[in-house]
Structure 1
Amino acid sequence: MQIYISGSLAFDRIMTFPDKFSNHILPDKIHILNVSFLVDGLVERFGGTAGNIAYNLSLLGEKSTILSQVGKDFGPYDERLQHYGIALDGIRTIEQEFTAGCYITTDMSDNQINGFNPGAMKYPSQYDMTRIDPSDAMGLIAPGNVNDMVDHPRYYRENGIPYIFDPGQQIPALGGDNLKKAINGAEILIVNDYELEMVMKSTGMSKEDIVGQVGYLITTLGEKGSMVSCKDGDTTIGVVPAREVLDPTGAGDAFRAGLLKGLSMGKTVAESCKLGATCATYAVEFKGTQEHTFTLEEFTERYESVFGPLT
């Protein structure tokens, strides 16, 4: 199965402030805020929804094609993706822009001040979707460029290509009408429990309405696992215990990669979510969204310790 991942590619630039923001922000002067924080240094990590999912898929032995957009500074990320065998022909380069970047400053109390520059993500990927073979493909639309999140589900639906819709943090930007169109006909809608409430509020649909329009609704529940909902009812999927939880960021993208891996193996959605749960636990054990690694043997052993034989 050919896997196409629409979503963002971004640099996460992380800084640590060796003090507390509260010691330098005067509450009575918040209306004229002017502060400068001297940080310990800067760490650059690779991220973005499409990049994270494709990276985890590569660890699972699956190749994928990213449909996204990047800027003039993409070189190091480009080399990394090539190293992991990820197809780059769906990535559009916008020479006058920088690749999307998240600038994160964290203080000693784990408070954060973030800035996000969408950069090249302001532009659609413009991938020639007719290159996709409908008989052997699946698409996943993750948060990224809003035009892609509207256009790609429509193309998949009109051409009989199964797709997973993952609106995430772009729910407000998409709006109710676009959400309804993308959800209707999706093989899977995947959200966390908070995002599900946002989707229902934005579209005016109930959970039952949503389940009636998709093959499956997957709701991730953090440390409580996930739930698969369909017309036959709900199925709860457990978690794979982490050895140590260092950073939950990226766990959702890792879960989606495990889900795709299971579907490519011909497993049911519920069974595929178990692979997702296993993949997610590796992500939370490291700081950063692409810092973890594992072999297929290690992955299988960990899966089977919780869910039984993986066949």
Structure 2
Amino acid sequence: MTQPSIDVIAIGNAIVDVMAPSSDELIAQLGLQRGGMTLVDTDRARELYDAMGPAREISGGSAANTLAGLAALGAKCAFIGQVADDQLGEVFAHDVRAGGIAFATPSREGEPPTARCLIFVSPDGQRTMNTYLGASQFLPAEALDEKVIADAAVLYLEGYLWDPEEPRAAMRKAIAAARGAGRKVAFTLSDAFVISRHGDDFRKLIEAGEIDILFANEGELAALTGIEDYRQGMASLAAKVPLLVVTCGAEGAVAQAGDDFARVSAEPIDKVVDTTGAGDLFAAGFLFGHVRGRSLAESLKLGAICAAEIISHYGARPEADLKALTATV
């Protein structure tokens, strides 16, 4: 097996986040599930955008956010995701490449437009997300460069993108390419609603031994396993997933690889401003430690530091120097 020249290549939704502060009263009036993520159509996206206060546009998407953190830490990364040939598509592509991430997926002509996520941020930092998938759900398998995938140490897949049929087929093709090259496949479950729709697919991937690293929060793990206690849920998967990472919100996170188990507390911060991207940046820190051969405990610590940085400001892309923040780990 040749030495990989890319640390992590990811496939995910190419989304621009549109974020605005919001009262919980407005969230209730709009009939939104506070703290949840809901897929919306074009009409609903327009309705919610009209109801938002002054907003900021920041390139996002779960896997792309993770790569942004990885690149900021010094990893070599590449992203595969579909944008439209429009203004938001140009914004997304510019932001990804400016962050040092290789991005070569051709833009898609015509409708639908580039995906966007309308995020209402509550006073306590909780985010209520409403995602219009747009062009991102039309990523074709033909857009994949299997040689590039085979040249990455880790293929990182975003559960959110499993929902549309076309990118699901692309991700299956990517898994085959990565495993054929002897590389690792990492998967983030993304949200309980994704598991409610595609849990059987995910369980089959796990049973087939096609996932080497699985990221989940407590709720997602419970939805996947049917076991409420996260420790018992992890135990039920320990023999099937070589590396399992579970985030527990303010309680920190845990990881298990065979008999090796580690736990980390959440990093203290002065104020939670916006929890958007906390899990994404946690994954960034952890994966950086993993590809650099760090211990489970050290990788968890890196993840916790990156997550703390992201929830201290608006947006899911790092603003502080992550290398400096993690220098003592």
- Map 1:120-269; keep pairs closer than 5 Å: 120-126=135-141, 127-132=143-148, 134=150, 137-146=153-162, 147=168, 148-169=170-191, 170-182=194-206, 184-201=209-226, 207-232=234-259, 234-269=261-296
Q: Which has the higher contact order (CA 8 A, sep 6+)?
A: 2
Moved more, 217-226 or 124-133: 124-133
Counterpart in the other structure of 1:52: 65
Residues 129, 214 of structure 1: CA spacing in aligned structure 2 closer, same or farther, 3 A cutoff? farther
Q: For 1:74-97, what per-residue CA distance to the aligned partner results, in whole angstroms no more than 9, with x for missing partners?
A: 1122122222211012x3422222
- Map 1:51-90; keep pairs closer than 5 Å: 51-73=64-86, 74-89=89-104
Alignment partner of 1:240: what SS?
A: coil
Contact 2:124-2:272 at 8 Å conserved across structures: no
- Unpaired runs of at least 5, structure 2: 32-46, 163-167
Distance 2:28 2:249 in 1: 32
Alignment partner of 1:249: what SS?
A: coil
Aligned partner (choices 12, 29, 53) of residue 7 of structure 1: 12
Structure 1 or 2, whichever has the larger Rg, is: 1
Alignment partner of 1:70: what SS?
A: coil
Contact 1:12-1:44 at 8 Å conserved across structures: yes
Q: For 1:144-200, what per-residue CA distance to the aligned partner results, in whole angstroms no more than 9, with x for missing partners?
A: 422144443343234321121112123233231343215624221110010001111
| Partner amino acid, structure 2, of 1:94 | R
| Partner amino acid, structure 2, of 1:200 | T
**Residue-pair matches, total:** 291
Counterpart in the other structure of 1:100: 115
Counterpart in the other structure of 1:307: none
Residues 98, 271 of structure 1: CA spacing in aligned structure 2 closer, same or farther, 3 A cutoff? same
Q: State the shift of 1:66 in Å.
A: 0.4
Identity, % of aligned positions: 24
Compute the TM-score of the two structures, normalised by the length of structure 2: 0.77
| Partner amino acid, structure 1, of 2:107 | T
Cα RMSD, aligned residues only: 3.1
Structure 1 residue runs of 4 or more that deviate by more than 6 Å after TM superposition: 22-26, 107-113
- Unpaired runs of at least 5, structure 1: 27-34, 305-309
- Map 1:273-288; keep pairs closer than 5 Å: 273-288=300-315
Residues 9, 247 of structure 1: CA spacing in aligned structure 2 closer, same or farther, 3 A cutoff? same
Q: For 1:224-267, what per-residue CA distance to the aligned partner results, in whole angstroms no more than 9, with x for missing partners?
A: 11111233153212222123211111111111111121122221
Counterpart in the other structure of 1:21: 26
Residues 124, 243 of structure 1: CA spacing in aligned structure 2 closer, same or farther, 3 A cutoff? same
Q: State the shift of 1:134 in Å.
A: 4.2
Contact 2:255-2:263 at 8 Å conserved across structures: yes
Moved more, 188-197 or 110-119: 110-119
